[in-house]
């Protein structure tokens, strides 16, 4: 296999966007091409989950490649639920590593706010098992609520720990001009104040409003290329060094241990092994905090902390910018937002930004290894990527 | 006729599945349909639960109790709860009833109450 480098990155604001989905997908590709100093690619991968259902548009990749005047380059949509972004980056890697293409663009985009919140919840709930989960009214927040309760019972995680994740990530988002949520919150304000039940209502007990990521529109892109092409850009060399992917049972109730996220554990281990590094080498990570509990549990499952001790590391401030292993300096899904197809690519955007040392006010001190965890379904399809800065 | 929910036992190794799979999760050796259906028991223990406040649009109740129950044969199932104060480890008993109604279709599933 050939080495593969991330040579250009681009992103839109994550918010409500009044642009067609194809433009939300295309705009960050333009930025990423400009960032890399190139005009053409051999192939385009578009990560998206809902175009057909939410936006009444199919064949999205054909629209995006055309609006960018990149025809006749090949183009296709990669759909893998909320892990579509990670999967599309993986496909881009394979295309370059195999020798089939020298330069590919990967973009992730979603326009979810074209419909109301009920329709979004319903759309995302179609990820669940049709006969054994969906028919009951099971949604992703309800799976997260049940998981959180089991975790609290077993490991002593409290609502206060969950709120600490929300506060950390929303504070980080204040340093990110592309982040959806630009609101400073405090643990006291969302848990203890007399207004807490009004401003932070329950969504899926014990999870509350501020434990859940917002519904966002947005797009993010990365250009992947060979070392030869990467060297010509004159930019810091960031190599996509490791990829891991693992699946788990479709039904959450079938998992032997209700508090394990085995697909996260396995995908992370594969990714680190391929990159030849260990979790303790990681200097900055973007983890899939669609719900606050997930950041804590993923930080354990990927190997940053022992199982059941992620909330203790959080208490000690180890996951803050400036801590031992900064997690979600971008704001994560919680602060940056979660346009489902875009998220995995937005994680890559942040890690490349950080490894280059270009992240400005939220820059982590000189990271050499960066890591992303993109979590599909309720942990039934997970993609983990490891990046290494080489010069 | 009393409605039941079925689990599926592999004819090669005896492993019991819920929900249905086309290939056995344990031995991986059987052909399509080499499973024997058997009705799930209705009593078990509540493993975890939630009260959902943000419901899918077609539900006409303000909140919905959902839980994972370990049935007496060891199989776990997701179901709706009609329990005022659920608690982990609580003994529950289920009945197959309408759990979701759409315009032209009713869906049946397990609703659990405190035993
Ligand atoms: Zn079998």
Strand order in the sheet with B35-39: B16-17, B6-10, B35-39
Report how many domains make up chain A: 1
The answer to whether residues B10 and B27 touch, using CB atoms and an 8 Å cutoff, is yes
Instruction: Find the CB nearest B100 among A135, A253, A258.
Output: A135
- Do residues B33 and B16 both lie within one domain? yes
Name the closest residue on chain B to residue A121, using Cα atoms.
B56
Comparing A22-31, A103-112, A118-127, A174-183, the range with the smallest average pLDDT is A118-127
Residue A106 counted as domain residue:
yes
Residue A390 counted as domain residue:
no
3-state secondary structure of A139: coil
- Do residues B49 and B93 both lie within one domain? yes
Domain extent, residue A51, equals: 5-116+218-233
pLDDT tens digits for range B62-95: 999 999 999 999 999 999 999 999 999 999 999 9
Q: What is the average pLDDT score of chain A?
A: 97
Residue A95 counted as domain residue:
yes
pLDDT tens digits for range A343-374: 999 999 999 999 999 999 999 999 999 999 99
Record the tokens describing residue A153, joined without a space. Answer: 């019972």
Please name which of A52, A45, A4, A50 lies closest in space to residue A28, comparing C-alpha atoms: A45
Rounded to the nearest angstrom, the minimum Cα separation between A51 and chain B is 20
Phi, psi dihedral angles at A348 (to 5 degrees): -65, -40
The Cα–Cα gap between A369 and A366 comes to: 9
Chain-chain contact of B79 with A203 (C-beta, under 8 angstroms): no
Helical ranges in chain A per DSSP H: 21-36, 51-54, 60-67, 84-97, 117-125, 140-155, 159-173, 187, 196-199, 227-232, 262-275, 292-301, 310-315, 332-336, 340-356
Phi, psi dihedral angles at A327 (to 5 degrees): -115, 130
- Do residues B16 and B69 both lie within one domain? no
The answer to whether residues A221 and A361 touch, using CB atoms and an 8 Å cutoff, is no
Average pLDDT over residues A108-132: 94
- Do residues B34 and B58 both lie within one domain? no
- Do residues B58 and B107 both lie within one domain? yes
Looking at the complex, does the CB of residue A146 fall below 8 Å from at least one CB of chain B? yes
Residue B104 counted as domain residue:
yes
Chain A and chain B share a number of CB contacts under 8 A equal to 100
Chain-chain contact of A253 with B68 (C-beta, under 8 angstroms): yes
Rounded to the nearest angstrom, the minimum Cα separation between B18 and chain A is 8
Residue B82 counted as domain residue:
yes
Question: Crossing angle, helix A292-301 and helix A159-173, to 10 degrees?
Answer: 90
Residue A369 counted as domain residue:
no
Record the tokens describing residue A344, joined without a space. Answer: 């995995």
Taking contacts as CB-CB distances below 8 angstroms, the residues of chain B near A147 are: 48
What's the CATH number where B100 sits? 2.40.50
3-state secondary structure of B37: strand
pLDDT for residue B103: 83
Residue A376 counted as domain residue:
no
Evaluate if residue A58 carries a pLDDT over 90: yes
Name the closest residue on chain B to residue A144, using Cα atoms.
B50
Chain-chain contact of A146 with B109 (C-beta, under 8 angstroms): no
Residue A76 counted as domain residue:
yes
Evaluate if residue B1 carries a pLDDT over 80: no
Please name which of A83, A170, A75, A60 lies closest in space to residue A348, comparing C-alpha atoms: A83
- Do residues B83 and B55 both lie within one domain? yes
Residue A110 counted as domain residue:
yes
Record the tokens describing residue A196, joined without a space. Answer: 């807490």
Report how many domains make up chain B: 2
What's the CATH number where A11 sits? 3.40.47.10
Average pLDDT over residues A225-245: 97
Chain-chain contact of B54 with A207 (C-beta, under 8 angstroms): no
Residue B43: exposed, middle, or buried by beta-carbon count in 10 A (0-12, 13-18, 19+)? middle
Please name which of A314, A240, A305 lies closest in space to residue A277, comparing C-alpha atoms: A240
- Do residues B55 and B103 both lie within one domain? yes
- Do residues B12 and B64 both lie within one domain? no
Q: How big is the CA angle at A176 (ends A181 and A200), to the nearest 5 degrees?
A: 20
- Do residues B15 and B69 both lie within one domain? no
Chain-chain contact of A137 with B80 (C-beta, under 8 angstroms): yes
Residue B1 counted as domain residue:
no
The Cα–Cα gap between B99 and A386 comes to: 43
C-alpha torsion sign, points B43, B44, B49, B55: negative
Taking contacts as CB-CB distances below 8 angstroms, the residues of chain B near A253 are: 47, 68, 76-78
Chain-chain contact of A149 with B68 (C-beta, under 8 angstroms): no
Instruction: For chain A, report the end-to-end CA distance as a whole number of angstroms.
Output: 21
- Do residues B50 and B84 both lie within one domain? yes
Instruction: Find the CB nearest B19 among A131, A136, A139.
Output: A131
Domain extent, residue B17, equals: 6-39
pLDDT for residue B56: 87
- Do residues B48 and B35 both lie within one domain? no
pLDDT for residue A312: 98
Residues in chain A: 391
Looking at the complex, does the CB of residue A145 fall below 8 Å from at least one CB of chain B? yes
pLDDT for residue B58: 84
Global confidence as pTM: 0.98
Chain-chain contact of A147 with B79 (C-beta, under 8 angstroms): no
- Do residues B23 and B67 both lie within one domain? no
């Amino acid at each position: 296999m050939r080495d593969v480098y991330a040579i250009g990155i681009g992103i839109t604001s994550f918010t409500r966007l009044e642009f067609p989905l194809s433009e939300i997908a295309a705009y960050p590709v333009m930025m990423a091409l400009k960032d890399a100093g190139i005009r053409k690619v051999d192939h385009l991968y578009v990560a998206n989950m809902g175009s057909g259902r939410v936006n009444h548009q199919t064949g999205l990749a054909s629209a995006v490649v055309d609006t960018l005047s990149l025809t006749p380059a090949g183009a296709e949509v990669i759909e893998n639920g909320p892990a579509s972004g990670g999967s599309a980056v993986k496909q881009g890697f394979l295309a370059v590593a195999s020798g089939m293409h020298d330069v590919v663009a990967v973009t992730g985009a979603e326009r979810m706010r074209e419909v109301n919140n009920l329709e979004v919840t319903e759309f995302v709930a179609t990820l669940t098992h049709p006969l054994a989960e969906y028919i009951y009214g099971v949604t992703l927040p309800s799976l997260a609520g049940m998981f959180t309760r089991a975790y609290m019972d077993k490991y002593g995680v409290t609502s206060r720990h969950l709120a600490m994740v929300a506060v950390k990530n929303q504070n980080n988002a204040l340093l990110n001009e592309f982040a959806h949520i630009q609101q400073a919150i405090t643990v006291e304000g969302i848990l203890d104040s007399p207004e807490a039940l009004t401003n932070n209502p329950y969504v899926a007990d014990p999870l509350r409003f501020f434990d859940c990521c917002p519904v966002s529109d947005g797009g993010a892109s990365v250009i992947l290329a060979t070392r030869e092409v990467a060297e010509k850009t004159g930019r810091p060399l960031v190599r996509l060094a490791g990829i891991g992917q693992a699946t788990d049972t479709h039904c959450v109730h079938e998992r032997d241990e209700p508090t394990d996220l085995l697909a996260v554990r396995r995908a992370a281990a594969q990714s680190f092994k391929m990159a030849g590094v260990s979790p303790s080498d990681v200097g900055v990570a973007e983890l899939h905090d669609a719900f606050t509990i997930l950041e804590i549990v993923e930080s354990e499952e990927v190997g940053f902390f022992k199982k059941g001790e992620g909330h203790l590391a959080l208490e000690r401030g180890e996951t803050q910018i400036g801590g031992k292993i900064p997690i979600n300096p971008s704001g994560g899904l919680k602060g940056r937002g979660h346009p489902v197809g875009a998220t995995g690519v937005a994680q890559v955007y942040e890690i490349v930004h950080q490894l280059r040392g270009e992240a400005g006010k939220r820059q982590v001190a000189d990271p050499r290894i960066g890591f992303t965890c993109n979590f599909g379904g309720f942990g039934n399809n997970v993609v983990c990527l490891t990046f290494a800065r080489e010069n | 006729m009393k409605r039941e929910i079925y689990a599926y036992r592999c004819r090669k190794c005896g492993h019991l599945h819920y929900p249905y799979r086309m290939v056995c999760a344990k031995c991986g050796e059987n052909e399509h349909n080499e499973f024997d259906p058997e009705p799930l028991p209705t009593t078990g223990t509540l493993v975890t639960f939630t009260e959902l406040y943000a419901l899918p649009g077609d539900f006409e109740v303000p909140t919905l109790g959902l839980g994972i129950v370990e049935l007496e044969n060891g199989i776990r199932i997701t179901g709706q709860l009609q329990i005022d104060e659920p608690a982990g480890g609580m003994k529950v008993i289920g009945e197959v009833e309408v759990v979701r109604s759409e315009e032209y279709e009713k869906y049946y599933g397990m609703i659990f109450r405190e035993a």
